Amino acid sequence: MKKLLIILLILPLFLLCGFFKREQKPYLVLSSGSINTQQTQRIERNFASGQRINYALIAPSGFKKYGVRLQLSKQDDKTTNWGFSIVKTQDLYLIKGETSYRDYIYLKNTGKYILQFFYLSNKDYPFAHIEFRVQ
Summarize pLDDT for 44-81 with one digit per residue, the tens.
889 999 999 999 998 888 887 778 999 999 987 666 66
Any idea which architecture 22-134 has in CATH? Answer: Sandwich (2.60)
Q: What is the pLDDT of residues 97-126, one digit of tens each?
A: 888 899 999 999 988 999 999 988 888 899
Provide the terminal-to-terminal Cα distance of the chain, rounded to the nearest Å.
67
Domain spans in the chain, listed from the N-terminal domain onward = 22-134
At residue 15, the pLDDT reads 62
CA distance 119 to 125: 8
Which pTM value belongs to this model? 0.76
DSSP state of 122: B
Closest by alpha carbon to 84, among 113, 57, 48? Answer: 113
Please name which of 114, 88, 99, 102 lies closest in space to residue 54, comparing C-alpha atoms: 102
